[in-house]
Structure 1
Amino acid sequence: METKLDLLPLLDYIDPTYLSYKEWIDVGMALKHEGYTAADWDEWSKRDGARYHPGECFKKWTTFEGTGITGATITQMAKENGWAPHRTNEESRELDWDDEISKDEDYKIIDENWIEGKEIHEPIHWNPVREITRYLETLFQSTDNVGYVTETYKIIDEKTGEIIYKPTAGAYDRTAGQLIEALNNCNGDIGSVLGDYNEEAGAWIRFNPLDGKGVKNENVTDYRYALVESDNMDIEKQNAILRELELPIAIMVHSGKRSIHAIVRVDAPNYEEYRKRVDYLYNVCKKNGLNIDNQNRNPSRLSRLPGVIRNGKKQFIIDTNIGKADWDEWHEWIEDLNDDLPDMESLSDFYNDLPDLAPALIEGVLRQGHKMLMAGPSKAGKSFALIELTIAIAEGAKWLGWQCAQGKVLYVNLELDRPSALHRFKDVYQALGIQPKNIGNIDIWNLRGKTVPMDKLAPKLIRRAQKKNYIAVIIDPIYKVLTGDENSADQMAHFTNQFDKIATELGSSVIYCHHHSKGTQGNKKSMDRASGSGVFARDPDALIDLVELELTDALIKQQEGKVVAEIYANAIKQVNFDYYDEHIGPDDEQSVFQMVEHAKRVLSQEQLAQVESEIAKAVKSIRIRSAWRVEGTLREYPKFEPVNMWFQYPIHKVDDTGILKDIEPEGNLPPWKNAMNKRKDPEQKKQERIEALETAFEALDGENNPVTVGDLAEYMGTSKRTIWNRIKEHGGFETKRNPDDKESYVSRK
């Protein structure tokens, strides 16, 4: 499919101040033909401050119908002023060893808002011959053919009625040596050498040597110089910025009006390289406040000739040979200022006085200022784990068994709506049993519906967090801000570099989560499970990976029995501790049958009913909880032993009993064993689905609080469609849609 060329960037190469009235109209007609708006034409036309009239573009726009003038008119105008199309996708190729992955460099060296203007002084003794010969001696060799223009023709601006003087092609048949010799023998009559000029218009000269056959780009014999001109700001400020940028300026000429013409050394070996260097030069100038006239890109461009009068003002040389000596020196200087790279160091200087390592953020896992990735499948509760980590850092508590440093932490919420995110934090606090003594250490940035790509988000985040002293920034989840193809190594390297910028600028750890690739993960290494390019796994300093464990029916029954026995034991202790102490031994504590018998002797019927209700909830909760193994790849610390844990909404609990230690992750079991474990009676499966839905509804306190289909889907780690099917299968629930928030709420019939 053909991609339509965006014409608006091409308008940067077309200055309306240099166009005739007809050419200006042609641009408007072309824009309308190609589907642009009158506002686009109006915005560009404002650059011609002298002739611009508010509202005129919009009036004329309505008259442009069937003109036949297309975007090709704008394209041609832009080409004539130095624009060249970028390479198409068909011209793309694999990166070579010496190639560089391009990026949008800043190149901002000075702030034009704070720089003071530098005064310009006219020559005290006006000597036109000396001005011109000095110009020629500075820029040309004696054998170089020089192009210059003293003859003009008049045109009337149809829009304003103003007289405009346009230069002719001029002369180009003499060398610099011949011109200098003739000027030195003319007794001050420069007209006898160059031809008389119109003092209302001034005169021009081409700053690159020609072949003596014409004055177009193809007639340029040496691509030595480029013209930098900006006429929309105070001329003394132009002078100051040009000098502050250390441009390798061979000569700087006052135009006799409102601009400086700086002839800059580029010393390009050919036209292609000339264009690249001029693009680079103009980019740096624009970044630093000079709104460069893009029409000056051409190597055959005319510039103002010093030593002549223009409408009563002198065109004169301001200075010569300022800034860096040549292009290479200036280019290297600019790159050094912008690469932000540290100097190289000798190991001998620090071997016996090593710098202190960054303190641990998560003991044995991650240092402060470093990066960590958590990877896992969708039902692993990664967001809950990151909220748990946020709380652990804020309170100086443990996370999955690891002690965390205490400090301020920013949680960047990209997925949940604001109320859900805030409720989730409170739910996790309560489930962990941690008192919120330091909730002032937690900041939440809710960006659902307001996210931008990571390369745009990173500077905004840095700016807002600069003075907050966060020791950690947690971003959840990254798919919301992912830019580019996640399977492309170079694009993902650019993406993950944004985390480096955040960590470096804020001095805080950056922690983020990503999803697993499709398929079972148990037979893979932890660093190969994350979806997309291997850059994801190899970039962070710590990779924490969650993989699900296959729970057998026998293990689930065992867990149910243990919990049931504990509930009976706790109830007996509360009612009659002396009986418990005298009659119940360790063996009885492990037997559900024995604990039931003891409970019947001690508890009343009402108390037994309460215990049985508690047991029913606990058993259902066990049946829907999942088991997980945490593995990791660390850069700063030794590899840790896998951590086994349960995810029981809304928190993870480390398995301290060792019961999960010998269970294989999902996908590690042989096919025959997987099939045997999953082979269940259809009625049994249906009953388990019904019980799981009941448990989820009760866990979300659906009897007293509104519960949506989405809430149940999130709790059970499944889709909304599955929940709808479960509700239909259950038969005891009904749904009602709320037109205000477009959510479907679930309640009992």
Structure 2
Amino acid sequence: MENKLDLLKLLEYVDPSYLDYQEWVNVGMALKYEGYTAADWDSWSSRDGSRYRPGECFKKWASFEGSGSPVTGATITQMAKDHGWESRSSKDDRELDWNDEIAGDNDYVVIDKNWIEGMEIKEPANWDPVNELTKYLETLFEASENVGYVTSTWQTDDGKYLPTKGNWDRTAGELIQALHESNGDLGAVFGDYNPEAGAWIRFNPLDGKGVKNENVTEFKYALVESDSMDLEKQNAILRELDLPIAALVFSGKKSIHAIVKIDAANYDEYRNRVDYLYDVCKKNGLDIDNQNRNPSRLSRMPGIERNGKKQFIIDTHIGKSNWEEWHEWIEDINDDLPDPENLTDFWNNMPDLAPPLIEGVLRQGHKMLMAGPSKAGKSFALIELSIGIAEGRQWLGWNCTKGKVLYVNLELDRASALHRFKDVYNALGWQPSNLSNIDIWNLRGKSVPMDKLAPKLIRRAAKKDYIAVIIDPIYKVLTGDENSADQMAHFTNQFDKVCTELGSSVIYCHHHSKGSQGGKKSMDRASGSGVFARDPDALIDLVELEITDALLKQEENKSVCSVYQKYLEKYNYDYLDEHVSQDDLLTVSSMTEHVKRAIPSHLEAAEKEVDQVLKKVRVQSAWRIEGTLREYPKFDPVNMWFQYPIHAVDESGSLKDIEPEGDAPPWKNNFTKRKSPKDRKKERKEALENAYEACGIDEKVTVQALAEYMGITERTVRRHIKDHKDFWIDEGEVGRK
């Protein structure tokens, strides 16, 4: 297996937009046969923007069954060869040929051809053939240099027009002078041409004795041409590559001719530079015509009409000024390393710090890890954060900068993820004023390791201006052993790539290690290697607080009183203001009597709402947020309640003195109060009722769900239900009698 070719690398040479339907299907069959995934086929297919249909690859994939003559990886290998790829072994065993590519270790990829937008080619407003041709000659030649050109043609059996050897006996200066004296008659200067065929000109000077490579006197220019791509895309890629182009000419048909400055000292250097030039162009999406390498090659003559279309100069002197400057730029841009800086250069002019994303916690473009155990509502907290950033509001008491967010959902099915966002908005009571700021990338069942996901994410997000990318959860995309420092360093480096390429913050979610967490520091709780604690710029950790019976009763009373106060404020505010004291506002019995007396017609509605509130209070959990920050001072622990589906900061201070499991003094942990059988039975009954209410969020409650929630076996759950007598079990489903 080690020697098998990476088919995904080979597919980088194959543009799906050039394939017909059957060839596209063959690629999918070959990938499946060789053990790749439908997501690999889908990702490659998405490069064909006009024909790509989301989900089509996954439907087709299921229909690919084995056969006696399967489509194998050899099909993709041959396609890659047809589009310019050559195996290293095929080159190593023979002498280099003119058509070989010289490629080092660098990728030399400057642009992503799949995302580049086409650039329009505009015809000259005032057509002046003499001016077109004069400009071309003045741009490329010295007055004393001989110019080769062809206006006469011959026709093949299939009707194709081909140029003859043409002429080479006049200098650029002589031709320019003749053009000025021609009164616009190009035929009087160059000879009449066939308007169906057009005319040609050579871009390198000749010795006046012929038109072969040995007749070239200076190796100034090379021709870059692609006749199998969209014209506007050719134009855009040529410019994005910043090639040192002397003249850019429209051929009058389906290609652009870029006359690129090579300035080679001799023929050997010319060959090496053209090899390098073509290699860079191919790797950046130009389907180069390899036959144009020769220095004596013909190009299209501007100022000529061909089948009713004009051959004209699109532009001159664009890109880098010369070969050396461009070559150095290409090498440097693939270096990816910054130059060392001297502190004295910046001491009195320090660069601005990145602005905050979460004020006091995280800066824009930085990384944050949220860690916590199951049932902490980490996903809900990240959805709350997405909404907080999108709306420019607070998240758990911290102000958020407003901007666009990409939420990468790796765990939930699409419908559940979308519903959660709506549920959280409703529970927060916020108007969805900026829904356009939230994009959700649903990847359940389609996720790949992070080192493969990162470039796909970067490509899709490149022009979206996301201020934050939230990845939930990361165990779905882990690459390697989470306890291995070097493997996790490689994994977390992918987040750096996303931050650097997109300029956005990356926020990701991970689980706690097993066992009690209360006695640990926040940075030591995340599962796996210590890299998880050291890598992020901000680590937000959630640890559960133990709710006592007294605290639960206090929260119940507070919630009930709050409901009654709300009803009095709404339906009889004067009574509330005159008859209800501050002590009454905190006493359930007093508030009940006030409601009965002041608004008896609303008592039933108030009591129904009280019942609903009590159910929520009894299943809510308490949590403490602690943090380790790189850019900001350490913040005081934040206590909060998780009341499905949102978290709410404990403003009253009820949780301030509550200790997480394992955080109490040793003598307190070791002391256990002896309980009577009656007390234990009561606790089991209440625990079962609370678990049933919590699991009742789903459509039905099962024994398995209760066991997972309570942390006991299904057998024990069945015994508790039998003792309780108010519940029934039917084939694993649980309900109230």
Match of 1:686 among 684, 687, 691: 684
Shift of 1:670: 3.8
Measure, in 2, the Cα distance between the counterparts of 1:390 and 1:48.
45
Which residue is equivalent to 1:303? Answer: none
Larger Rg: 1
Measure, in 1, the Cα distance between the counterparts of 2:534 and 2:524.
9
Give the alignment of 1:36-51 within 5 angstroms.
Answer: 39=72
Give the alignment of 1:290-689 within 5 angstroms.
Answer: 336-574=332-570, 576-599=572-595, 601-602=597-598, 604=600, 608-670=603-665, 673-674=668-669, 681-689=679-687
CA pair 570-489 structure 1, distance change in 2 beyond 3 A: same
Per-residue CA deviations over 1:352-373 (Å, capped at 9, x if unaligned) read 2222222211111111111111
- Indicate the SS of the match to 1:486: coil
Measure, in 2, the Cα distance between the counterparts of 1:719 and 1:417.
28
Shift of 1:532: 1.4
Percent identity of the aligned residues?
59
Measure, in 1, the Cα distance between the counterparts of 2:606 and 2:487.
58
Q: Tell me which amino acid in the other structure corresponds to 1:527.
A: M
Give the alignment of 1:184-203 within 5 angstroms.
Answer: none
Per-residue CA deviations over 1:697-726 (Å, capped at 9, x if unaligned) read 66x3x7xxx457599779969799699859
Measure, in 2, the Cα distance between the counterparts of 1:412 and 1:527.
24
Per-residue CA deviations over 1:499-539 (Å, capped at 9, x if unaligned) read 11211222211111111111111221111111112221211
CA pair 39-241 structure 1, distance change in 2 beyond 3 A: farther
Shift of 1:44: 6.3
Measure, in 1, the Cα distance between the counterparts of 2:369 and 2:560.
38
Measure, in 1, the Cα distance between the counterparts of 2:708 and 2:393.
25
Q: Are 1:366 and 1:372, in contact at CA under 8 Å, matched by a contact in 2?
A: yes
Aligned pairs, how many? 504
Per-residue CA deviations over 1:660-705 (Å, capped at 9, x if unaligned) read 112222211245534667976332232223321443366x3x7xxx
- Indicate the SS of the match to 2:648: strand
For structure 1, the 5+ residue unaligned runs are: 13-30, 50-75, 83-103, 131-239, 254-259, 265-282, 292-322, 325-329, 737-743
CA pair 679-506 structure 1, distance change in 2 beyond 3 A: farther
Per-residue CA deviations over 1:263-314 (Å, capped at 9, x if unaligned) read x9xxxxxxxxxxxxxxxxxx999968999xxxxxxxxxxxxxxxxxxxxxxx
Q: Are 1:372 and 1:510, in contact at CA under 8 Å, matched by a contact in 2?
A: yes
CA pair 573-372 structure 1, distance change in 2 beyond 3 A: same
- Indicate the SS of the match to 1:586: coil
Shift of 1:471: 1.1
Per-residue CA deviations over 1:138-187 (Å, capped at 9, x if unaligned) read xxxxxxxxxxxxxxxxxxxxxxxxxxxxxxxxxxxxxxxxxxxxxxxxxx
For structure 2, the 5+ residue unaligned runs are: 11-33, 35-67, 83-88, 96-104, 119-201, 215-257, 288-322
Which residue is equivalent to 1:106? Answer: 107
Q: Tell me which amino acid in the other structure corresponds to 1:658.
A: G
Q: Are 1:522 and 1:667, in contact at CA under 8 Å, matched by a contact in 2?
A: yes
- Indicate the SS of the match to 1:379: coil
Q: Tell me which amino acid in the other structure corresponds to 1:631.
A: E
Shift of 1:566: 3.1
Q: Tell me which amino acid in the other structure corresponds to 1:639.
A: K
CA pair 631-241 structure 1, distance change in 2 beyond 3 A: farther
CA pair 382-42 structure 1, distance change in 2 beyond 3 A: closer
CA pair 344-721 structure 1, distance change in 2 beyond 3 A: farther
Shift of 1:626: 1.1
Shift of 1:385: 0.5
Measure, in 2, the Cα distance between the counterparts of 1:581 and 1:711.
51
Q: Are 2:691 and 2:706, in contact at CA under 8 Å, matched by a contact in 1?
A: no
- Indicate the SS of the match to 2:375: helix
Shift of 1:401: 0.5
Match of 1:695 among 693, 696, 699: 693
Q: Are 2:707 and 2:717, in contact at CA under 8 Å, matched by a contact in 1?
A: no
Measure, in 2, the Cα distance between the counterparts of 1:485 and 1:534.
12
Which residue is equivalent to 1:217? Answer: none
CA pair 5-339 structure 1, distance change in 2 beyond 3 A: closer
Measure, in 2, the Cα distance between the counterparts of 1:697 and 1:492.
35
Shift of 1:381: 0.7
Per-residue CA deviations over 1:398-426 (Å, capped at 9, x if unaligned) read 11111111111111111111111111111
Q: Are 1:689 and 1:726, in contact at CA under 8 Å, matched by a contact in 2?
A: no
Measure, in 1, the Cα distance between the counterparts of 2:617 and 2:396.
20
Measure, in 1, the Cα distance between the counterparts of 2:527 and 2:206.
67
Measure, in 2, the Cα distance between the counterparts of 1:503 and 1:522.
32
In the superposition, the TM-score normalised over structure 1's length comes to 0.55
Q: Tell me which amino acid in the other structure corresponds to 2:476.
A: K
Shift of 1:345: 2.1
CA pair 616-528 structure 1, distance change in 2 beyond 3 A: same
- Indicate the SS of the match to 2:583: helix
Measure, in 2, the Cα distance between the counterparts of 1:523 and 1:506.
38
Report which stretch shifted further, 528-537 or 665-674: 665-674
CA pair 578-375 structure 1, distance change in 2 beyond 3 A: same
Q: Tell me which amino acid in the other structure corresponds to 1:516.
A: H
Per-residue CA deviations over 1:375-400 (Å, capped at 9, x if unaligned) read 11111111101111111111111111
Q: Are 1:368 and 1:508, in contact at CA under 8 Å, matched by a contact in 2?
A: yes
Measure, in 2, the Cα distance between the counterparts of 1:438 and 1:109.
35
Q: Tell me which amino acid in the other structure corresponds to 1:630.
A: I
Q: Tell me which amino acid in the other structure corresponds to 2:559.
A: V
Report which stretch shifted further, 613-622 or 427-436: 613-622
Measure, in 2, the Cα distance between the counterparts of 1:477 and 1:247.
54
Measure, in 1, the Cα distance between the counterparts of 2:414 and 2:78.
45
Q: Are 1:379 and 1:718, in contact at CA under 8 Å, matched by a contact in 2?
A: no
In the superposition, the TM-score normalised over structure 2's length comes to 0.56
> Could you say what the CA RMSD is over the residues aligned between the two structures, in angstroms?
5.3
Measure, in 2, the Cα distance between the counterparts of 1:408 and 1:119.
50
Shift of 1:40: 5.1
Which residue is equivalent to 1:208? Answer: none
CA pair 285-413 structure 1, distance change in 2 beyond 3 A: same
Shift of 1:484: 1.2
Which residue is equivalent to 1:18? Answer: none
Shift of 1:647: 0.7
Report which stretch shifted further, 610-619 or 640-649: 610-619
Q: Are 1:727 and 1:733, in contact at CA under 8 Å, matched by a contact in 2?
A: no
Per-residue CA deviations over 1:159-217 (Å, capped at 9, x if unaligned) read xxxxxxxxxxxxxxxxxxxxxxxxxxxxxxxxxxxxxxxxxxxxxxxxxxxxxxxxxxx
Measure, in 2, the Cα distance between the counterparts of 1:620 and 1:608.
19
- Indicate the SS of the match to 1:659: coil
Q: Are 1:623 and 1:692, in contact at CA under 8 Å, matched by a contact in 2?
A: yes
Measure, in 2, the Cα distance between the counterparts of 1:105 and 1:674.
60
Which residue is equivalent to 1:185? Answer: none
Q: Are 2:700 and 2:733, in contact at CA under 8 Å, matched by a contact in 1?
A: yes
Shift of 1:546: 1.0
- Indicate the SS of the match to 1:556: helix
